[in-house]
Structure 1
C-alpha cells in the first residue's frame, strides 16, 4: 500500500507516540529540527521536501500546555509555508478542554480560543481523542475526527476476567460514558453523586447510587488530574462494601500529588493510556498501567490519508 506522500512529524511533547505510530504505518518519521532559542522562543525547520505531502503532526497539548500549543502552531505554519498538501494536527490530549463554557461571570472559553489558534495557524484537519466534552468539535470550522480510547481499555479489562464487575461513574456527568463501558463488558452500572464545596471547590462524595457490595468496581473517567475526585470515589466505594477497586481513565494528567494519592488509596490498579507521556514517577508506580493508543491513531491516520471511512473507529 503506497504511502510515499504521507509523513508523520512529532513535536517535543510525545516523540515516543509519534515513533510508534510511524512504525505501525511502516513510514519513516519526518525529518525536522525543533529547538528553542535561549529566550525560549520556538525554532523549527523541516529537513526534507514536503511539497504536496499529507502531513500529520503528533503533539498532545499536555504538561507545559502553553509551550506545546505554541510549538504546534509554529510547526503548522512552517508546513503551510512549505506547501504541504494537507496538515492534520494529531492531538491525543486537547489542552484547555475543561474550559469549554462560561460557568462563571467574566471568564474565557479557552477551548474555543485554542481551536481558533490552530485554524489560524493553517491546520486543515484535527484528529483528537476523548474530548472532555464532545461539543468542542463544533468550536472548529475545519473537520475534526474524534476518536475514543474505549476499545483499548475495554479490551484490556476483558482479558483480566474480573468477577462480578460493576462499572462506576465518579460523577453524574460521566454516567453516559460509564454506561457505554458497562454495556460493552456486560457489567452492572453505579454512579457516585459528587458535589463540590461552594467555598473551596473541592469534591465531596455524598452517595453511591447502585449496588457495589462484594463487587469488583471499575471507576471510569476521562481525565485524572490531581486524583482528588477518583480517590474520594474509591474511598466511598470501599465504605459501601466494594471488594476490589480498579480505576481507568483515558488521559492520565496526574499532576501535583496525584501519584502519591493513588499509592495511598484503596485503588488496586489505575489504567491510563499514553495520550499523555508519563513521568518517571508514574512509570515506576506498581499501581499504574499505561496502554498504547498508537495503533488506534495509526488506523485513523491511514484512513484519513487514503480517504476511507473513519466511522468504524468512533466507538
Structure 2
C-alpha cells in the first residue's frame, strides 16, 4: 500500500501511513499561469494499492488535482485507488430546493466515484441521505470521530457533560459520552437562515455540577455554537469547552466564542487549524485497511453505473 498526501495534507497522510505500516509520498502539483494544474506522482505505483489522503475543504480547487492524480495512478498500474478524506465536501445540497438547482451532493459523488475504488471519511454532514452508500456507488465508509474525541475529553475536562447543539448531533454525542463515561444532553435548535439560529437549553439538567462540552461536527460561521454558549449562560451553566470535528471557522468566529465565555476551542485535525488537538489518522487507517482488503470486483462504478434516485 502507498499513501500519497494531497496538497497541505502531509501530516495526516504520514500518520495514516504509519498506522498502516505503509510508504507515503507527497503529490506534486504545479499551477500554470492560466490556472491549469499539472500533477506528478514521484514514486512507483504499479501493482500497489494507492490511497490519496487529504481533506476536500475548498473543494473547487482541490478536486481536479485529486481526479487527475487518481487517473494517473490507475494509468501507471495501481491495483486499487482510494481516498482517505477526513473532511468530505458537497453534502449540503441533498435535494432540489428550487426549480433548476443541481443536487450537488449526488453530482459530486458521481464525479469522485468515477475515479476511485473506495472512500473513507469522518463524520460527513449527512442530512437527508441516510448513508454514503445512497450516493456513492463505490466502497465507502463514514467513520465516527467519537472514539478519538472521547479520550481527549476524559483527559482535559473534569466532570464533563457532553452537549449536542441540535437533534442531528444526538447519535455521535451519545457515542462520545458513553465512551468517556459522561452524561449527555441535546439542545433544541431552530435555524432562521445561514447565519441566524436560536438554541434552547434542555430542562431538568444539573448545570452547576459539571462542565458542559459542546460538540459539533462542522464549525464555519460559529452561529450555532455561539447561540448554544449563550443559552448555556442563561441556564446558569459553567463556562463551556467547545469541540469540533471539522474546524472551518470564518474570520473571528473562534474569538467570538471565547469572548462569550468558552474556555477552550479544540478540533480534530481533519482540516489544519490552530485549534487542532485530536488526531484522526488511526481511525482513518482502520477504515482504509478494511476497504482495501475487499477484492476489486464489480463494485467499481465503471462496471455498475450509478442509478439516479
TM-score, normalized by length of structure 2? 0.86
Cα distance in 2 for residues equivalent to 1:31 and 1:290: 23
The match for 1:298 among 281, 285, 303 is 285
Cα distance in 1 for residues equivalent to 2:10 and 2:39: 15
| Partner in structure 2 of residue 126 of structure 1 | 119
Structure 1 104/136 Cα, relative in aligned 2: closer, same or farther at 3 Å?
Answer: farther
Residue 235 of structure 1: CA displacement? 1.2
Residue 236 of structure 1: CA displacement? 0.7
Cα distance in 2 for residues equivalent to 1:110 and 1:68: 16
For structure 2, the residue ranges without an aligned partner over 5 or more in a row are: 296-309
For structure 1, the residue ranges without an aligned partner over 5 or more in a row are: 1-5, 309-315
Q: Deviations over 1:205-228 (max 9, x none)?
A: 245344142031111111111111
Residue 96 of structure 1: CA displacement? 1.4
Ranked by relative contact order (alpha carbons within 8 Å, sequence separation 6 or more), the top structure is 2
CA RMSD of aligned residues (A): 2.2
| Partner in structure 2 of residue 60 of structure 1 | 55
- Contact preservation (8 Å) 1:171, 1:194: yes
Structure 1 138/13 Cα, relative in aligned 2: closer, same or farther at 3 Å?
Answer: farther
Residue 99 of structure 1: CA displacement? 2.1
Deviates more, 1:105-114 or 1:83-92: 105-114
Residue 201 of structure 1: CA displacement? 5.6
| Partner in structure 1 of residue 239 of structure 2 | 244
Deviates more, 1:40-49 or 1:225-234: 40-49
Residue 106 of structure 1: CA displacement? 4.2
Structure 1 206/266 Cα, relative in aligned 2: closer, same or farther at 3 Å?
Answer: same
Structure 1 103/154 Cα, relative in aligned 2: closer, same or farther at 3 Å?
Answer: farther
- Contact preservation (8 Å) 1:224, 1:251: yes
Residue 203 of structure 1: CA displacement? 0.8
Corresponding position: 1:135 with 2:148: no
Structure 1 20/189 Cα, relative in aligned 2: closer, same or farther at 3 Å?
Answer: closer
Cα distance in 2 for residues equivalent to 1:178 and 1:249: 11
Aligned to 1:208, what secondary structure does the other structure show?
A: coil
Aligned to 1:204, what secondary structure does the other structure show?
A: strand
The match for 1:51 among 27, 32, 46 is 46
Structure 1 103/185 Cα, relative in aligned 2: closer, same or farther at 3 Å?
Answer: farther
| Partner in structure 1 of residue 68 of structure 2 | 74
- Contact preservation (8 Å) 1:192, 1:205: yes
Deviates more, 1:51-60 or 1:294-303: 294-303
Cα distance in 1 for residues equivalent to 2:169 and 2:243: 13
Corresponding position: 1:253 with 2:248: yes
